[in-house]
Amino acid sequence: MRKLISVFLLLCFTVTAFAQEALAPHEVYDYAPDLPYEEIERRYNELDLEIDIAFNDRVHAFINYFTVRDRDYTREMLRRKEVYFPIFEKYLAKYNLPQELKYLPIIEAGLNPKAVSGPQAVGLWQFMSPTAREQGLHIDWYIDERMDPEKSTEAACKYIAWLYGIFKDWKMTLAAYNSGIGNVWRAMRRAGHKEDFWEVYNYLPRETRSYVPQFAAILYAMEYADVHNIYPTEILYPVDYDVVKTNQFVYLKTLADEGRIDIEEIERLNPAIKKGAIPANLKNFELRIPRYQSRYFQTHKESILAKAEADKVEFEKIAKNMPGSTFGKEKVVYRVKSGDVLGTIARKHNVRLEDLKSWNNIRGSLIRVGQRLDIFIGPDFYDASSVTANQRDQPIPDSKLHVVQPGDTLWDISRMYKGLSIDRIKELNNLKGNSIKPGMKLRIG
């Protein structure tokens, strides 16, 4: 009997231990504690934030969202934060900005350096291209530094510091970061020149009204995740890397193969490289390679880089056929006419319909008369309908001038005269874009 009791007790202990392990709240039974409004308010106020956003019903509603309704999102942010928070903290300290701003890329981009929004804001800090370029970020077909965590974070810190210098208030600074200075100034005027966020709240764009309380809520949710029983199942950590400076074309696939490096590791460390290659015209480009393979790479660096450069032809063949590719093509702007449809426009310019839609961010098939479409055409494209028979391949006139006619584009003009290219017309006339007007006199020789 004594032996049976011992066996029974041992069995009970084993089952209980197994049940406790199996029902660990953050692994299997994901319950959300029901915390009273007053307790959440008390904990929020104890954070003693430099960015002083008052706790109210709007903030509480977003806290409820991040801690109850979409706990998985908060859990994923906890999983990713160790990769990016050290970068944010470094530059926030450098520019003497509140450390709370490290939570901004969570609501901006979900801590995804390659995030792209509908309006084409890009990266952790969701820069639009004009603002990014103003802050010194490089953007071209190959590279988009808005996706570089280090460079985009420093640019964001400089931009935020500039905004704060204008508004002298953190809530208004956040609102301006989200919707632009013009929208905030307009809201302030409509509110009777008020300067407090909550007093101009109803005059701000709808998204911006949510932006500031949402920022406060995600900050609270991340700081008190454990109180709300939110834990990451695993944690991502940054990969140690070394920097290799390049002054040549580099095809990443070849570099990874020759350097015995996982191509996905290279891509994760260098998210700003959009198309799998570094162009030759970027001097001293800082390529990150994982430290664990750095010794082998440095030992064979010369041969690895030589092979990565030699495979440029292979890369170009692939690049030309990428969906939405503009590689090796010239941009022309087409104005939609009555009766035009996307398929006809694509066939007329010898481009793929899906590329035409991708270049112009068109999801369906709706276009309107007068709409301007960006079209990227290869050097072998020639639209016979764009010029009349007696205009084609004319010699450059003695006056070396062309008077722009209604409907003329730079592409049309370049095809009228022998040996003339769009780039040459731009160079001769100091043109930065492709816009020309009837009556303009363009130098063509």
Which residue, among 252, 383, 293, 260, has the nearest Cα to 330 in the 3D structure?
A: 383
Catalytic residue status for 108: yes
The count of residues in the chain is 445
Q: Tell me the sheet residues that pair with 285.
A: 246
Which residue, among 85, 107, 89, has the nearest Cα to 98 in the 3D structure?
A: 89
Q: Are the beta carbons of 339 and 440 closer than 8 angstroms?
A: no
Backbone phi, then psi, for 144, in 5-degree steps?
Answer: -135, 100
Which residue, among 8, 31, 28, has the nearest Cα to 20 in the 3D structure?
A: 28
- H/E/C letters for each residue in 407-445? CCCHHHHHHHECCCCHHHHHHHHCCCCCCCCCCCEEECC
Helical (H) or strand (E) element with 286 = strand 285-290
Q: Are the beta carbons of 276 and 252 closer than 8 angstroms?
A: yes
Tokens 């308010």: give the residue. 41
Give residues with Cβ within 8 angstroms of 193, minimum separation 6.
none
The one-letter code for the residue type at 269 is: L
Helical (H) or strand (E) element with 74 = helix 71-94
How far is it, in rounded angstroms, from Cα 299 to Cα 348?
Answer: 52
Catalytic-role residue among 100, 108, 145, 330 = 108
Residue environment code for 133-155, b if the CB has 16+ CB neighbours within 10 A, otherwise e: eebebbbebbbbbbbbbebbbbb
Residues noted as catalytic: 108
